[in-house]
Amino acid sequence: MPTPMKERLLHAVRFTSALCLLAALGAAARSETAIEGRNGITLPAPPPTAKNTVIDNLHGTEVADPYRWLEDGDSPQTREWITSQIKYTDEYLSQVKMRPQIVSDLTKLQRVDVYSVPAEYGGKIFFEKRLANENQSSIYMREGLQGEDIRLVDATKLSADQNTSVSINDISVDGKLIVYGIRQGGADEESVHVLNVDTRQELPDTLPSGRYFGVNLSPDKQGLYYARFTHEGTTIYFHKFGTPAANDAMLFGKEYRGEKLGEMELVGVGVTDNGHYLVINISRGVPATRVDILVKDLRKPNSDIVPLVYGVEAQTSVFNIGDRFFLGTDYKASNKRIMEATPGESPDAWKTVIAEGKDVIDGFSIVGGKLFVRRLHDVKTETTIYSLDGKQIGQVTYPGIGSGSDVMGRPEKDTGYYVFQSFILPPTIYRYDTKTGKSDIFFQPKVPFASSQYEMKQVFYTSKDGTRVPMFIAGKKGLKQDGSERLLMTGYGGFQLPMLATWNPEYAWWMQQGGFFAEPNLRGGDEYGEPWHKAAMFEKKQNVFDDWLAAAEYLIQNRYTTPERFAIRGRSNGGLLMGASITQRPDLFGAIWCGYPLLDMLRYQNFLFGRLWTTEYGSADNAKDFPYLLKYSPYQNVKLGTKYPAIMFFTGDSDTRVAPLHARKMAARVQAANGGSRPILLHYSLKGGHSSGVSLTQLVDDEADELAFLWHETSVK
């Protein structure tokens, strides 16, 4: 568990050193020079940002931080600065003449009816649904497959600005109670509510706003099991209906088997579909370096919590049917395998059901007494069906190349649902009959996008160290490959998350205008199993940036675009990727959108969820990690006088996961250091955050701002 950064502050200076004085004089000189956007956009210099330099001594190295004061997001000075940046960005966007048309185009792509994947309980089908003219999805129920859609919870009436969203957490087996969450804006936190489906009346029992890692009804419907995260750790409680939530009994969370469970352990909870077991997951770090799984037999009120998986250095997930437990694990299998385990036995006793293969297992489920195993074959989904003893009995047939979800349903019921999509195919929900093997469309959105006019292909290129990396490229059929077209590329590269071919209205809009879209599968994800992930962790993080830059060079060399016409975007860990693009190869791109980013890698671990990510990045608190973090950390590698491309940093007050201070500090530093005349903007939302949840109107406005910026700044006369 990382210790908080100790106070190693030596001194603070305000424009006293010669270096700071020169920087200040340079900023003052530039303040008289207008910023030039493409095609006639002009701006004054960015709003001035005061420096109050703090110098930290980290393991014998002095590191200057001129904008430490912007870390305090609530101070009057910071709020005044944010207001000035918002006005500055608005001044830019008001001059982009095509923005109203982008809003109109995106509205057509986004304002279609949308359904979530359904769940069937008690003869009813439950799902979330947003009508084309609405800003939020509401919770619905349907009596049988052909029944009428009945709205149970109307999210459109929960707030005046419609930035309040709802989501289903759990449904009772008989379909008579539904547990749902209410989220404000883009925050991670939600409050929890319970609805009686028959009477349409809310139970008086609620859980206050917080981060919940699992909320489930007890099998007798007399209460809720839930795991709530705080920055002291995650604990599991039982709330008995009719009693104050403040009196809820803690069931688990302080320690287990003599091991203290603290801030680095994320504890989740769930109840098996048959109501037999309470399942507790302990994920150690993000991504987890070890996942422990514990179970409690709920049929025996005084039963102990016993280990199913414990002390095994592996990532493991579990599905239950009857009294059998199936594990998806990378224990001694980097591409994962499916095993059957019994509570209390050692891993040596686990039985292999489906052996590891050449393609990584990306997910599995049990529906209708069958195993559905989803693999990635060169990042393309293939789903194979097995009996519970591991015999292959079929496969799910997809309508082309793209991304398929897990088959989602109940272990002992015959109906499942899955989603298939790609960059050029909007997501379609299929209903799957496990008895006949037949798939039928449950819902297909009517998106005004002519998929038949577009094509998607996969190429492979060579990274700096010789690694072969795949990349998807999509666009209109017949596009010229002569360097004359714009290209938008996105990436992530971390936390074992594979970047699959999934639908995004922003990418669709870009392709509708005649631009190419590209997504390389950088190391750091799970496209080729845990070795692909580990090749980009800790001191190897530079591999991600090298893979990304090699993808850009491949696209330029093969005349898909030119640097001036090259736009890139990324958010969260992908925002860090954008930061590295800014500092390592500013010459390679025309415009960069950097969303909800991590950028100060020497201090990220001190804020919000940052300390949990030290299992991916390391921490500057540790002498061995500090040198490589300093070498690539974007905030510390901004260079005075560099001609930076057009950049939009994008964050908001409701980001309670990645602290908005990263974007604030980086925007200030790049604005002050910029030796060129391209715009450096901070788009700061007072509603938006890391999670989804803002109104569709707000979402379209935000996306239009992004696309207006990227498209306009990659225009070349």
Dihedral sign computed on CA atoms, order 687, 700, 551, 420: positive
- Residue 550, both tokens: 């090699």
Catalytic residue among 283, 572, 619, 695: 572
Cis ω for the linkage preceding 287 (within 30 of 0): yes
CB proximity list for 375: less than 8 A, separation 6 or greater:
357, 359, 360, 361, 362, 381, 382, 383, 384
Beta strands at 591-595 and 516-520: parallel, antiparallel or unpaired: unpaired
Distances 354 to 310, 335, 405 between C-alpha atoms, Å: 21, 12, 19
Please identify which of the residues 690, 691, 695, 712 carries the catalytic annotation.
Answer: 690
Between CA 54 and CA 65 the distance in angstroms is 5
Instruction: Give how far Cα 159 sits from Cα of 88, 351, 380, Å.
Output: 29, 52, 41
∠ CA(377), CA(383), CA(384), 5° rounding? 110
**Residue 679 φ then ψ, to 5°:** -70, 140
Per residue, what are the HEC states of 214-282?
Answer: EEEECCCCCEEEEEEEECCEEEEEEEECCCCHHHCEEEECCEECCEECCCCEEEEEEECCCCCEEEEEE
Contact between 604 and 617 under an 8 Å Cβ cutoff? The reply is yes
CA dist., res. 53 & res. 67, Å (int): 6
d(CA 494, CA 598) in angstroms, rounded, equals: 12
Closest by Cα among 325, 328, 330, 329 to 344: 325
**Residue 463 is a catalytic residue:** no
Specify whether 690 is catalytic: yes
CB 566 within 8 A of CB 548: no
Give the catalytic positions in this structure: 572, 690
